[in-house]
Structure 1
């Protein structure tokens, strides 16, 4: 499971800051895939108090991470980073399974899962 999602040290620092700011310390970071976006699939990240029945758990940089077992194949090898630029900062997601993504970079599709594309 540890090779499904990998977070960089920069992303971990930012996630911990967000948890602290939102009073979510001790929560799990949910990394998910949902249908939608121009290319059919999009990423989701958020905080949750408890894992679900279909979740796998891992821990990196003292952050507890949840991934639904149904999303594991789509996310396998994904790296989540945080980059700071002159225009601000943001998370970047590099998924080796994505074969196409939209121009804005927020949606994608894989060879095995095209998702449910929406008009953008």
Structure 2
């Protein structure tokens, strides 16, 4: 199985905590990309109960990960981490494919995929 996204140990720990809060630790973590944001593309992460026909599935740190066909090339070699600071914590996404990010950091574009930017 091909690994597309790398999840750090810190991010995996946080995701597993969120799965417990969700009430189901046997769900899939879906990681994807959709059109939107200032730069054209934005990330999405959430839990799903079922795998789709065109989903890539693999496991990391005991987490079952799903990535759809359209998101796969954009997310190749992405690293998801979780950082804690005095202001709280949050996930960080390091995408070597992104060539431009918006000022707020919530959207991006790649050399081959511009997405559909929204008004900021």
Would you call these one fold, judging by a TM-score over 0.5?
yes
Question: 1:50 maps to which residue?
Answer: 50
Partner of 1:114: 114
Whole-angstrom distance in 2 between the partners of 1:86 and 1:60: 28
Instruction: Give TM-score scaled by structure 2 length.
Output: 0.98
Does residue 37 of structure 1 match 2:37? yes
Cα distance in 2 for residues equivalent to 1:106 and 1:53: 29
Q: Give the alignment's TM-score, normalised by structure 1.
A: 0.98
**CA drift at 1:24:** 2.5
* Alignment coverage as a number of residue pairs: 119
Coordinate RMSD, CA, aligned: 0.5
Query: Where does residue 93 of structure 1 map in the other structure?
Result: 93
- Indicate the residue corresponding to 1:76 in structure 2: 76
Q: Return 5+ residue gaps in structure 2 as ranges.
A: none
Aligned to 1:12, what secondary structure does the other structure show?
helix
Q: Distance in 2 between matches of 1:53 and 1:70?
A: 13
- Specify every segment of 5 or more residues in structure 1 that has no aligned partner in the other structure, as ranges: none
2:9 matched to which residue of 1?
A: 9
- Runs of 4+ in structure 1 off by over 4 angstroms are none
